[in-house]
Structure 1
Amino acid sequence: MATSSDCIEYVCEQISGAGTIRYRKMFGEYMVYVEEKPILLVCDNTVYVKILDCIRDKMKEAQKGFPYDGAKEHYILDIDNRKFSKEIISLLLPFISVPKPRKKKQRVIE
């Protein structure tokens, strides 16, 4: 089951004020970027964050899960708790880097 557009809009609404927010659809699921940093992964209408030391204490009671087959285990973020979600994002921002732009592959047609 892919993430619904209503769900991704709700996620972005809940974290509004945490910085510049955008999302990108990937294979029916979404990556949410804050300040151009990939912060939240939304799969099957569930919000995931990487398991990192900077949020370990705050997320110790959180459920864990796998966003997709082959993925590493992630914390499941309670996006309904707006204040807590924004706090987690503020803790993550200094530790997540902006992805480097990919070079476009040139196609040679002979």
Structure 2
Amino acid sequence: MATDRDFVEYVTEQVGLGDRLTSKKMFGEYALYLDGKVVAFACDNSLFIKPSAAATAIAPRLPQRPPYPGAKDYPVADELLDDTDALRLLITDTAALMPLPKPPKPRKTTGSRVRATPAV
């Protein structure tokens, strides 16, 4: 089941970090980014936090399950959706532990494709 956009909007409102928390749709589900770092996934209208020491320290009793078939277990933070302060702390502390995204590889240029005009 794909995640509803309304669910993602609710999560971003609850976290309360404004434009710092963004989302990107992927295969019917969403990745959530804080300052460009992936911190969580919204799958099947549930919030899956990237596994990290932050999740273990802040919310060690969160249930865990895979966000999609074949994935490892992730903490599911649905029970924190109504606790703005705890959810914000979990998201920001998770982001602090995540590496910066790798810069995109530059595109290879293959020269110009200008048509040669016949000599007259």
Asked whether the two chains share a fold, i.e. TM above 0.5, the reply is yes
Aligned residues: 107
| TM-score normalised to structure 1 length | 0.85
1:79 aligned residue: 81
- Segments of structure 1 that go 5 or more residues without pairing to the other structure are none
Question: What is the CA–CA distance in structure 2 between the aligned matches of 1:105 and 1:65, rounded to whole Å?
Answer: 38
Shift of 1:50: 2.1
1:34 aligned residue: 34
Aligned pairs for 1:57-96 (under 5 A) are 57-77=57-77, 78-96=80-98
Q: Does 1:16 align with 2:16?
A: yes
Shift of 1:100: 1.1
Shift of 1:105: 6.7
| TM-score normalised to structure 2 length | 0.79
> Bigger CA drift: 15-24 or 37-46?
15-24
Q: SS at 1:39's partner residue?
A: strand
Which stretches of structure 1, 4 residues or more, deviate above 3 A after TM superposition?
none
Question: What is the CA–CA distance in structure 2 between the aligned matches of 1:102 and 1:21, rounded to whole Å?
Answer: 21
Q: SS at 2:99's partner residue?
A: coil
Cα deviation 1:41-69 (Å, max 9, x = unaligned)? 10000000122123313221111111001
Shift of 1:19: 6.7
Q: SS at 1:10's partner residue?
A: helix
- Segments of structure 2 that go 5 or more residues without pairing to the other structure are 111-120
Is the Cα contact below 8 Å between 1:37 and 1:96 reproduced in 2?
Answer: yes
Is the Cα contact below 8 Å between 1:41 and 1:48 reproduced in 2?
Answer: yes
Is the Cα contact below 8 Å between 1:18 and 1:34 reproduced in 2?
Answer: no
Q: SS at 1:57's partner residue?
A: helix
Over the matched positions of the two proteins, sequence identity in percent amounts to 30
